[in-house]
Amino acid sequence: MNFVEYGDTIKDGDTAIVFLGHESMFPVKVQHGTVTQTKYGVIRHSTDLIGKKYGSKVTCSKGGWVFILHPTPELWTMNLPHRTQILYSTDISIITMMLELKPGSIVCESGTGSGSLSHALIRTVAPTGHLYTVEFHQQRAEKAREEFREHGVEHLVTVTNQDVCKNGFGVSNIADAVFLDIPSPWEAIGHAKSALKAEGGRICSFSPCIEQVQRTCLAMEEYGFTEINTLEILLRVYNVRTVSLQIPDLGEAAEDNSGTGFDSSNPSHQGSPCANLQEGTVQFKSGVPLREVVGHTGYLTFATKS
């Protein structure tokens, strides 16, 4: 199993996603002789998972069923164990685009955290690129190495446990892009410049507070970065609903339907908006935003090494 090279069959040792519904899923490590409990009953790895195809519908012991999905960076972001606050797909998508990443790119990242962005970066630069990720916390760095090894992508990533603000990324003049998600990114701008290739490399800094952004922008200007700009990505979800609207009184012309060819007694017209004219309302399909809108996550500051 590999997060980059997708396979068809579930094997012993794979990480799979148990899908109960769009709002209910979780990862499981497939192991011979192991069972997994769900609200629909038990899943026996030896008989229900190993050898089956990804995407299969598996019946649990209580008669309910689940789907077993191949892991992707997007699914991992939704289901990973949280060791830190993470970046979600909304921010990740704009980061990979604005950093101009592609297969073969060399990327430096700090800090690794829970590895949400790391998995997306690895898939983007595979099969010939590489990710150098730095994590200050030793236990988080060790756990990240373990996950990359289990997910079959350890050959595409190097995990370093050190303080990027003091010791940098451990590479010089090779990176196409640098990403910073640390409390004081302005202290690492000089090391980021050293890690980037001679000209044209891109940098992105994620910060939740505007004061952090201000200090980071000043540091970028001091080190000669250009095209500095800051974005904030806010997600707004719409629900499709049927709404009833009052028909306005537009006078006699609106009330006279003799020239429209509409016959309310015609069965083919039943259920159409015009069928409700006598009731004074008409129904429409409408996109309605949710009452609770996803709030601020952080500011993304991008710049180019000139």
Residue with tokens 């200050």: 136
Q: Residue 256 annotated as binding?
A: no
Q: Residue 235 annotated as binding?
A: no
Contacts of 95 (CB under 8 A, 6+ apart): 87, 117, 179, 204, 206, 300
Contacts of 237 (CB under 8 A, 6+ apart): 289, 290, 294
Q: Residue 135 annotated as binding?
A: yes
Would you tell me the crossing angle of helices 138-150 and 116-125 to the nearest 10 degrees? 50
Q: Can you name the residues that pair with 40 across neighbouring β-strands?
A: none
Contact (CB, 8 A) for 63 and 40: yes
Number of C-beta neighbours around residue 96 at 10 A: 22
Q: Residue 181 annotated as binding?
A: yes
What count of residues does the chain have? 306
Q: Residue 194 annotated as binding?
A: no
| Cα–Cα distance measured from residue 82 to residue 85, given in angstroms and rounded to the nearest whole number | 7
Residue with tokens 């209910």: 24
* Strand pairing report for 65-69 and 57-59: antiparallel
| Binding residue positions for S-adenosyl-L-methionine | 114-117, 135, 163, 181
| Binding residue positions | 114-117, 135, 163, 181
